Amino acid sequence: VPVGEISAGQLAGLVAGRNFPLCMSVMYERLASEHHLKHWGLQQFTLFLKSIGLPLEQALLFFRQQFAPRTPGDKFNKEYVYSVLYNYGLALNSSYLLLFVVCRTPGDKFNKEYAYNVRYNYGQEGKRQDWSEWSCVKIINQEVGGACAGAGECNGGCPYKTYSAEQLRAALSRLNCNDKVIREVVDKARGKHYQLACGLAFEGITGSPQETGINKPSEYYASSIELATQ
């Protein structure tokens, strides 16, 4: 069980180990099947990965791999490398040209030209703001998300709010959540107590109560890792 910094290669194991809250595990699965996330989904997921200790280079490698089957390298670099850097509070500048080389599909003319444009146009530092992970309240109140409730690409959100009772039951069953607890989770979600539903699901999945409450997705992750390392 990883503690502290994690690598892109460990993410699949963490999802399989049920260490992610439902919002993030469904996003991971949808990313794996669609090879793409919509803007807010990418934002929410990147900031979560950053908060649990995935370094920038590993985040870029991870998204590059995930987007690869559908997104050509040039499109990835143009649209998503910028977005990932932005979430890490970094400007796109010449320091990151190496990442472009790593990400580049051999023979990709666009990348060469884009790298040139990066050197030319973006050779400055930005705000360097250290963006924080989104809180549950922010995710819950996000109107455009949907938390992968519909088909297609995911745009973030909290499943306890957006999933139907049937979808929630199915998702929690896949995580081997205790049946009795699933019923309680669905009741809590119906009553709009989404964070309490999430805490109860933690208990149904791990067999241990989550005492501190869940205000951010990384708190779910931290409790899960703590339990696994005891």
Binding site for ligand SF4 (CB under 6 A): 21-23, 136, 139-140, 158-160, 194-195, 198, 214, 217, 220
Among 216, 214, 164, 172, residue whose Cα is nearest residue 190 = 164
Rounded CA-CA distance 153/217 in Å is: 20
Which residue's CB is nearer to ligand SF4, number 21 or number 73?
Answer: 21
Write down the least CB distance from residue 22 to ligand SF4, Å: 5
The phi-psi region of residue 129 (left if phi > 0; otherwise alpha if psi is between -120 and 50; otherwise beta) is beta
Which residue's CB is nearer to ligand SF4, number 100 or number 220?
Answer: 220
Which residue's CB is nearer to ligand SF4, number 67 or number 160?
Answer: 160
Among 88, 72, 74, 85, residue whose Cα is nearest residue 36 = 72
> How does DSSP classify residue 163?
S
Residues pairing with 154 in the sheet: 37
Is the alpha carbon torsion for 95, 100, 106, 108 positive or negative? negative
Write down the least CB distance from residue 26 to ligand SF4, Å: 9
Write down the least CB distance from residue 116 to ligand SF4, Å: 41
Rounded CA-CA distance 80/39 in Å is: 9
Which residue's CB is nearer to ligand SF4, number 23 or number 84?
Answer: 23
Write down the least CB distance from residue 134 to ligand SF4, Å: 8
CB 230 within 8 A of CB 2: no
Which residue's CB is nearer to ligand SF4, number 28 or number 76?
Answer: 28
Write down the least CB distance from residue 8 to ligand SF4, Å: 21
